[in-house]
Amino acid sequence: MHRLFLFIWLMGVGATPVLAVQPDEVLPNQQLETRARNLSRELRCMVCQNQSIDDSDASLARDLRVLVRERLNAGDTDQQVLDYLTARYGDFVLLKPRFDLQTALLWLLPAAFVATGVLVLIGIARRQPNSGNAEAKLTPAEQARLDDLVGSKNRYEENET
Amino acid sequence: MIAEIGHFALVLALALALIQSIVPIVATRYRDTVVMGVAETTAVAQFGFVTIAFASLITCYVVSDFTVATVFENSHSAMPLIYKFTSVWGNHEGSMLLWVLILSLFGAFVAIFGANLPLTLKVNVLAVQSWIAATFYLFILITSNPFARIAEPPFEGRDLNPILQDLGLAIHPPLLYLGYVGFSITFSFAIAALIEGKIDAAWARWVRPWTLAAWMFLTLGIAMGSYWAYYTLGWGGWWFWDPVENASLMPWLAGTALLHSAVVMEKRNALKVWTILLAILTFSLSLIGTFLVRSGVLTSVHAFATDPLRGVFILVILIAFVGGGLALYAWRAPMLKQGGLFAPISREGALIFNNLFLTAACATVFVGTLYPLALETLTGAKISVGAPFFNATFGPLFVPLLIAVPFGPLMAWKRGDLPGVAQRLSGAFAVAAAAIVVTFAIAGGGSILVPFAIGLAFFVMVGAVTDLAERTSLFRAPVALSWIRARGLSRSAWGTAFAHFGLGVTLLGIVFETHWGAEQIAMVKPAQTLSLSGYDFTFRGLTQRDGPNYRELSANFVVRKDGALIGMMSPSKRSFATREMSTSEAALMTRGFSQLYLSLGDQKPDESVAIRIYYKPLVLLIWLGAVVMMFGGALSLSDRRLRIGAPRPARSKTALQPAE
């Protein structure tokens, strides 16, 4: 029983919200800092539950934030920073997975879903047995009757003027 | 004693649910209307017993009866009464009891207010509803009994997780569950229709109020959850694409699609097979949401339940209902006759477009949420799918949808006139173009996406107004005539316009908050002033005070704009002794629809503190838009034709069912 409470307690502590980015981490160079923040939002805090290192107050997230800033200060491009972190921590660190064989299904699904939907809809529209009904031609008798009615209306209008 | 009464009442509810699961189905076979009527009595009685169970549990919490295990684990005698009350569902066991309470409530509603339903349909719906109820009663009784006692009761409770000690817990879960569980009725209607092999426009009309009600609660529930996260988690975010949030977004997307396809079915007797499928899918997604949250399979910020037995049990329920529902669908749906022909450019076509993109968005969220789990199980590779992925995929799917929103209601049924509709939307186009130009001029270049998004928001809003203006011949006819027409306009037309307008409002809030929000992180010493977006914040030192079950340290800031004092803001940190946890309470100041947001960090020995200041322009529009959407739903729900009753059902049946 005690172990269970300890576990619940630990779970609670993990979720304690405090400040994420600390004032002493902020870079003096405004441009670099903006890039660092943008990169932070794309990187996962690996000990947290679905939080980016920008949001998290875990010490690992702090280390990663400092590391990102170090790399940027050393002159890395954004992509180089991401590559550096992926090489160290694996794909798990990226909140936006790379496009590769493993994630092709994930990335292509939205477009594939819409495309399939459109194809199915076209198929159904073609297959609709009496879709001609909506635009069916009038029989000669109906056409004659219509002409008669329209004609008489026209004659009426002509008489008016 | 009270806990035992609750426990016993729940067992009785299970017994009633089992009767209600079987008897009506058998009775419909023999056409015994008297025995069929049993379902109505049991549905109401079931609700009665679950209410007794729930009330018992509430009593245990309110009187702080720590002999009950869940009370001991989640309550504390010093907690304010409101939190004693809400902590009933601030844990796994209690929240499942709330789940079945709402389930039985909806069942009782069908029994009481379903007078205009054909008896067979009604009792079949109640029977299906009872299948769901019975499995969940069993789940609670076997794996998550909230009434279990402790042999040697302790003196004091372990307190509720401090993050949950908030008014949000009183509002968010009940609303969300009303939405989730409300879709069970739609599901039951769909299954009952498949069992009977009979479905028509009348069915769609009966189902629509339930769908609308569930959708409204879910909309508001999600919005309130988002606002709660926004002010409580302390970093000013309002949507995190957390799996648990996704779990509530998926039924919302499917439910929104269902709401629209049911309109086509009701008005034009078309899209029947698809609507049934959506009804099954929507509730399936609610069940999947329950599974994700309750099983702890995706541990995330929200998860407070981890127990493999529970997970497996819910998985079995999930497979039984989703699999069973879809299998029944695959078997019976081909027998349903399609009806209602229409051209691709028509109101029906527009609603299909809506359905296509909403379900695509839903599928994207679904795959994004479950992909890491599936990949890890299959290949062992660990990847993360987070906010950047969803923003990159969900956004592009929603843009065509939003562009289409103003077109839909202006389109004629059967065959629409696209150039004509575009012409009638010229006002909306003009406003949108103006918004784009103005935004572009003010923002001074930068991304073209932002002005475009603003223009889109205005297009959706003005488009909704255009719909109303067209229907009332505003500006074309005398005002008096427009007034008469406006009064004569059906409430569902007003509802559509409001809901679509709300969508634009939310979008506007999202764009403003995301692109013009400002943030500053700094250490401040007493008397020091920080400036952000034209506001000056002067730190006036720290104060300490004792709350009922916590100690609070507040940092006091005087806020000025252009030198004029506009108020005080005191973000604070609370430390709760029982759980040795602390929470950060952000301070918010509302300025119109915008907010100032202060969040307190650590303090240094020299009295300086770390502080995070945000300026959130028009942020309130995000949730206000959702409220407007919900109001639109309420208007539509109060429509005369839904109150007065349904038309006679169609007489045609499939070959399987002999005529009565």
pLDDT in tens, B142-192: 988 999 999 888 888 888 888 888 888 889 999 999 999 999 999 999 999
User: What 3-state DSSP class applies to A52?
Assistant: strand
Look at B11-20, B219-228, B638-647, B649-658 and tell me which has the smallest mean pLDDT: B649-658
Nearest to B190 by CA among B314, B317, B291, B283: B283
Give the one of A9, A91, A110 whose C-beta lies nearest to B397's C-beta.
A110
B352 touches chain A (CB under 8 A): yes
Minimal CA separation from A102 to chain B, in Å? 8
Question: Considering chain A, what is the average pLDDT of its residues?
Answer: 77
ipTM of the complex as predicted? 0.83
Question: Considering chain B, what is the average pLDDT of its residues?
Answer: 88
Q: Per-residue pLDDT tens for B266-281?
A: 888 888 889 999 999 9
Q: List Cβ<8 Å contacts ≥24 apart for B567-570.
A: B569/B537, B569/B596, B569/B598, B570/B543
B341 touches chain A (CB under 8 A): yes
pLDDT of residue B643: 55
CB contact under 8 A, B360 and A113: yes
Minimal CA separation from B375 to chain A, in Å? 8
A64 vs A141: which has the higher pLDDT? A64
Kindly report the pTM of this predicted structure. 0.89
Please answer whether residues B572 and B600 qualify as being in contact, where contact means their C-beta atoms are separated by less than 8 angstroms: yes
Please answer whether residues A91 and A98 qualify as being in contact, where contact means their C-beta atoms are separated by less than 8 angstroms: yes
With pLDDT > 70 as the criterion, what percentage of chain B qualifies?
A: 94
pLDDT band at B647 (very low <50, low <70, confident <90, very high): low
pLDDT of residue B633: 94
Q: What is the rounded average pLDDT of the residues B230-250? A: 87
Give the one of B581, B601, B612 whose C-beta lies nearest to A13's C-beta.
B581
Minimal CA separation from A5 to chain B, in Å? 8
Strands (E), B562-658: 564-569, 572-576, 581-585, 587-591, 594-603, 609-616
B152 touches chain A (CB under 8 A): no
Q: Per-residue pLDDT tens for B511-537?
A: 999 989 998 888 899 999 999 989 999
Q: How far is it, in rounded angstroms, from Cα A82 to Cα A84?
A: 5
Minimal CA separation from A110 to chain B, in Å? 6
Q: How far is it, in rounded angstroms, from Cα B237 to Cα B407?
A: 32
pLDDT band at A7 (very low <50, low <70, confident <90, very high): very low
Q: What is the rounded average pLDDT of the residues A124-132? A: 64
pLDDT of residue B299: 57
pLDDT band at A135 (very low <50, low <70, confident <90, very high): low
Q: Which of residues 73-112 of A touch B (CB under 8 A)?
A: 90-97, 102-103, 105-107, 109-110
Q: Which residues of A117-141 are buried (b: 16+ CB within 10 A; e: fewer)?
A: beeebeeeeeeeeeeeeeeeeeeee
Q: What is the rounded average pLDDT of the residues B627-653? A: 73
pLDDT band at A14 (very low <50, low <70, confident <90, very high): very low
The first and second tokens of residue B346, run together, are 């028509």
Q: Per-residue pLDDT tens for B60-90?
A: 999 999 999 999 999 999 899 999 999 999 8
Q: What is the rounded average pLDDT of the residues B23-48? A: 91
Q: Per-residue pLDDT tens for B557-583?
A: 999 998 899 999 999 999 888 888 888
- Answer whether residue B44 shows pLDDT above 60: yes
- Answer whether residue A159 shows pLDDT above 70: no
B522 touches chain A (CB under 8 A): yes
pLDDT of residue B445: 65
pLDDT band at A12 (very low <50, low <70, confident <90, very high): very low
